[in-house]
Structure 1
Amino acid sequence: MPRRQQATARQQRLGAELRKLREAAGLKGRDAAELLGTDSAQVSQFEAGLAGVSEARVRRIAAHYTCTDQELVNALAAMAADRTRGWWEEYRGRLPSSFLDLSELEYHAAYQWDVEFLFIPGLLQTEDYARALFSSRVPQLPEDERELRVRHRMQRRVILEKAPPVPYEAVIHEAALRMMVGSRAAARVQLARVLELSEAEGTSVRVIPFDLEHFIDVGAAMVYAGGAVPKLDTVVRDGPHGTVFVDSEAQLGVFRTHFRRLESASLDPGRSRDFIHSLTKEL
């Protein structure tokens, strides 16, 4: 397969998992190349996601590396076989690659958890809310790019609207619900949108209220996308220097624990809806 100019996060992840299998087998790149009847450069390229790898080759690689985790092998083979060019491809070269990588990750997710403390999660945002957020960027975005970002964010909701939807759970702090992004009228519409989606099939929204005692765990804002097997889960975090995709098993375990703690501390979905409804009356 021809060498890619740039690998997507999903292509990089497949390559990284193949590298982990090789390292777990105690093999160097040149050893793997000899077993596979290729050269070290080719091994390096598909482990970096820069060269495609077929489903058959993935299974061959796993056999040579004596990987006995058949569920993982099947999941990696399925990743290799998938050639989906999703709706996000229309934005390639027009938006940062992290936007497209997030869309692709969500599209393939077995389930998704969102945790937010300051803003409404992207999948639950209204167009006006998203536009106000993107308008606040420094330096200011050109109008055409801002509108592209808004449109892209609205299209991400397809995972909640398709049949069946991707199972989705959001944990939102009261601060995010009270943050006045845009006008008071827009804030009211945004809360109504969260309420509407909280009752949709497969979607759950939980609220962490201000008055929760002893709650200090505010550093775990994230998107957690479940993979076909737990080893292929991914956490997405926004930082001051861009978006980071986290996939190490140790860190995934920490974020799973964070989410379960936040989930147990939050109001249940019914009480959360009542809470959000009460906030709308204050606007």
Structure 2
Amino acid sequence: MGLRANPSQRQRRLGEELRRMREASGRKREDVCRHVGLHKPHLSHIEAGRTACSEARLRALLGYYGCTDETVVDALVAMARSSGKGWWSAYRELTQDRLRDLAELESTATAHRTFQWMYVPGLLQTRDYVAELFGNNDPPVPAEDAARFTDFRVLRQQCLFTDPPPRFHAVVHEAAFHMHFVSRKVRREQLEYLVEAAQLPHITIQLLPFRAETPPSTPGAPFSILDGRVPQLRTVYVEHPLSSAFLGEPERIQAFSQAFNRLTMVALDPLDPAQLHSGSSYRMVQHLLYIL
């Protein structure tokens, strides 16, 4: 089997976890290869996500590294077994690899935490909001492509309505609702949809007001933290127009988790129509609807 020229995020992450486990175990590369019957280049390709690892060999590696947690073993085996094919595969000619990787990651996440400061989070955008964003793109996007991009983003949202659904917690800066990227009508409908979505028991939405007195010391870009089947497989997705990144290093994940926790403390109370006090996200939504 030939080497993968462009491994997916899932394939790269599996390799990275195996490398981390090998290094943590203190096993020398030569001893690992001898134990499971691999050549050193083959092990390097597995750890880079460039080639597959059979279930039997994967279990042998994990056992040699001292991984006895069956939940972790099963999660890694599931990653290795996955074909990576899903509804996102139909958009290969249109979307960048990182967007398909994100859709695959979202589809398996058990929890999502996201911060946005200029847009409503993609998984909460209404179809009209998405369509107007792509319709107003600069440089312009051909109408057919804009429609396909809209379909892709809306299809990503189905990950929030699986059984059981993942937990979803969003902190959205007030600035997102003052941007005129979309029409006033669509902004109003988007706000109303957020109120509706927030009433689902697995969805929490907080707004971060301009008047927040304590800076949350967040990274300078929007980000999402997606939980895997086990804590070791948590991933951070940092958005950037040129080079969005997937981060899996424990220290990076901890830093972004702490940043999100600070955001929740500085943001208004979760969006809930029963909460009308001045420090509630619902009170801010009512104000925004009034001035639109």
TM-score using structure 1 length: 0.92
Alpha-carbon distance in structure 2 between the residues aligned to 1:78 and 1:56: 13
1:110 Cα deviation (Å)?
1.1
Amino acid at match of 1:278: H
1:266 Cα deviation (Å)?
1.5
**CA separation of 1:49/1:178 partners in 2, compared to 1, >3 Å: closer, same or farther?**
same
The answer for the alignment partner of 2:147 in structure 1 is: 147
**CA separation of 1:34/1:116 partners in 2, compared to 1, >3 Å: closer, same or farther?**
same
Q: Which 5+ residue runs of structure 1 have no aligned equivalent?
A: none
Secondary structure, counterpart of 1:239 in structure 2: coil
Amino acid at match of 1:276: V
User: Structure 2 matches for 1:41-120, cutoff 5 A?
Assistant: 41-83=41-83, 85-120=85-120
1:196 Cα deviation (Å)?
1.6
User: Structure 2 matches for 1:114-263, cutoff 5 A?
Assistant: 114-215=114-215, 217-218=217-218, 219=220, 221-263=222-264
The answer for the alignment partner of 2:40 in structure 1 is: 40
Per-residue deviation, residues 73-121 of structure 1 (Å, max 9, x unmatched): 3321222233352211111232101111111111110100111111110
Secondary structure, counterpart of 1:157 in structure 2: helix
Amino acid at match of 1:198: A
Alpha-carbon distance in structure 2 between the residues aligned to 1:92 and 1:31: 40
1:2 Cα deviation (Å)?
5.5
**CA separation of 1:238/1:84 partners in 2, compared to 1, >3 Å: closer, same or farther?**
closer
Per-residue deviation, residues 144-200 of structure 1 (Å, max 9, x unmatched): 332221110000110122222211111111111222222111111111121221112
Alpha-carbon distance in structure 2 between the residues aligned to 1:277 and 1:10: 41
Alpha-carbon distance in structure 2 between the residues aligned to 1:2 and 1:201: 46
Moved more, 96-105 or 61-70: 61-70
1:20 Cα deviation (Å)?
1.2
1:202 Cα deviation (Å)?
0.9
1:6 Cα deviation (Å)?
2.7
Secondary structure, counterpart of 2:239 in structure 1: strand
Alpha-carbon distance in structure 1 between the residues aligned to 2:257 and 2:97: 26
Alpha-carbon distance in structure 1 between the residues aligned to 2:229 and 2:216: 32
1:235 Cα deviation (Å)?
0.7
Q: Which 5+ residue runs of structure 2 have no aligned equivalent?
A: 273-279
Alpha-carbon distance in structure 2 between the residues aligned to 1:57 and 1:241: 37
Q: Is the 8 A contact 1:172 1:206 kept in 2?
A: yes
Secondary structure, counterpart of 2:213 in structure 1: coil
Amino acid at match of 2:91: Y
TM-score using structure 2 length: 0.89
Moved more, 260-269 or 249-258: 260-269
Alpha-carbon distance in structure 1 between the residues aligned to 2:100 and 2:91: 7
The answer for the alignment partner of 2:277 in structure 1 is: none
Amino acid at match of 1:275: M
Moved more, 242-251 or 160-169: 160-169
1:67 Cα deviation (Å)?
3.1
Q: Is the 8 A contact 1:220 1:258 kept in 2?
A: no
Q: Is the 8 A contact 2:221 2:239 kept in 1?
A: no
The answer for the alignment partner of 1:282 in structure 2 is: 291
Per-residue deviation, residues 47-92 of structure 1 (Å, max 9, x unmatched): 1212222333221101122334554333212222333522111112
Alpha-carbon distance in structure 1 between the residues aligned to 2:38 and 2:195: 55
Identity over the aligned pairs, expressed in percent? Answer: 35
Considering only aligned residues, what root-mean-square deviation do their CA atoms show, in Å?
A: 2.0
1:228 Cα deviation (Å)?
1.6
Amino acid at match of 2:6: Q
Alpha-carbon distance in structure 1 between the residues aligned to 2:44 and 2:136: 41
1:135 Cα deviation (Å)?
3.9
Alpha-carbon distance in structure 2 between the residues aligned to 1:40 and 1:202: 46
Q: Is the 8 A contact 1:29 1:44 kept in 2?
A: no
How many pairs were matched up? 283
